[in-house]
């Protein structure tokens, strides 16, 4: 009887260990897939290359994800939370936020630009990119909540829109890749842009009656 009870108790532990191992394998596969799509166009990525980088067989990938499209869909579950954690700093720490952002883009920015370029012809990447854009906006809103929360309605929306734009990966690309600016120059430029927007957010209500962030009259709902 005691032996039977021990066997029954061991069974859940074995099942849990297998589940943990399976999740760790899936995580490795997702990370390997990210490396591949960062370096190659989506239609050039092969399951063989992903399997080799992850240290698994193609059969394992097919059984777990069903193919590249399944990998792209599940990538959100396995990798996006890690990306968000690396992007998220202390709310209100403007310089710290830009430091994190530039460091992150230096490592992963080119991969995101490559994926975004394929979005119109690769539906499998669309949900991933949409999730990334949503997360970027959420993190931006949280980071600069101190300045945004006193604002109201469209004024708050315009300020957040502006902050999202000047901290976007395309702004980094414009400075680093198109203009050839150094990492330090890129950080300074993005920091200056963010501070300019935040300075507008803290102007007194009376001083704001002339114009909003985009030059329109505050409270004017046109266009």
Q: Please state, in angstroms and rounded to a whole number, the distance separating the CA atoms of residues 145 and 143.
A: 6
Q: Please state, in angstroms and rounded to a whole number, the distance separating the CA atoms of residues 37 and 81.
A: 18
The closest alpha carbon to 35, from 50, 57, 51, 22, belongs to 50
Give residue 95's pLDDT. 97
- For 111-147, write each residue's pLDDT tens digit: 999 999 998 888 888 888 888 899 999 999 999 999 9
Q: Please state, in angstroms and rounded to a whole number, the distance separating the CA atoms of residues 46 and 67.
A: 9
Give residue 214's pLDDT. 40
Give residue 126's pLDDT. 86
Phi, psi for 149 (deg, rounded to 5):
-60, -35
Give residue 197's pLDDT. 97
Q: Please state, in angstroms and rounded to a whole number, the distance separating the CA atoms of residues 92 and 15.
A: 44
Q: What is the largest CA-CA distance in the chain?
A: 84
Q: Please state, in angstroms and rounded to a whole number, the distance separating the CA atoms of residues 176 and 165.
A: 16
pLDDT < 70 stretches in the chain: 1-15, 203-223
The closest alpha carbon to 35, from 49, 24, 18, belongs to 49
């Amino acid at each position: 009887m005691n032996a039977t009870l021990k066997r029954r108790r061991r069974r859940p532990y074995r099942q849990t260990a297998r589940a943990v191992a399976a999740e760790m394998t899936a995580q490795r596969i997702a990370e390997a897939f990210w490396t591949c799509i960062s370096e190659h166009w989506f239609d050039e990525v092969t399951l063989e290359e992903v399997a080799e980088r992850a240290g698994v067989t193609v059969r394992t990938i097919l059984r777990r994800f069903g193919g590249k499209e399944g990998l792209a869909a599940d990538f959100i579950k396995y990798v996006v939370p890690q990306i968000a954690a690396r992007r998220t700093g202390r709310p209100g720490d403007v310089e710290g936020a830009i430091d994190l952002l530039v460091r992150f883009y230096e490592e992963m920015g080119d991969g995101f630009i490559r994926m975004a370029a394929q979005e119109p012809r690769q539906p499998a990447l669309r949900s991933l990119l949409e999730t990334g854009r949503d997360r970027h906006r959420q993190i931006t809103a949280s980071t600069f909540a101190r300045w945004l929360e006193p604002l109201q309605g469209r004024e708050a929306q315009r300020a957040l829109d502006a902050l999202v734009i000047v901290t976007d990966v395309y702004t980094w690309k414009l400075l680093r890749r198109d203009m050839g600016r150094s990492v330090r120059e890129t950080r300074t430029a993005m920091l200056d842009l963010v501070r300019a927007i935040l300075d507008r957010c803290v102007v007194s209500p009376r001083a704001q009656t002339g114009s909003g962030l985009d030059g329109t009259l505050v409270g004017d709902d046109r266009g």
